Structure 1
């Protein structure tokens, strides 16, 4: 029975740690997006031309 408890504990640790790669490789981190200081908008650093073409309104400012 102690061996089964060890396997269960290892499984729990792996389950908790499995979220770490997703948190470190999130879409915002990949594309370079950050929340603006006032919190009302998203700032994207060096957006691609394709990304800009898909945005509505004036994106040249």
Structure 2
């Protein structure tokens, strides 16, 4: 089964490998990670968690 990206640089895209727990990223569009989660229908999704710079959070 595939997992949809929610938020972040790949928002709206799909990853065919829904067995990966976390994907760390550094891109011109932002840094953070996609974390495997479940949506309101219990389907796997990758939810974006932006990286917070030191002193910002």
- State the TM-score, normalizing by the size of structure 2: 0.20
- State the TM-score, normalizing by the size of structure 1: 0.19
- Considering fraction of residues, name the structure with more strand: 2
- Compare relative contact order (CA 8 Å, sep 6+) and give the higher one, 1 or 2: 2
Larger Rg: 1
- Considering fraction of residues, name the structure with more helix: 1
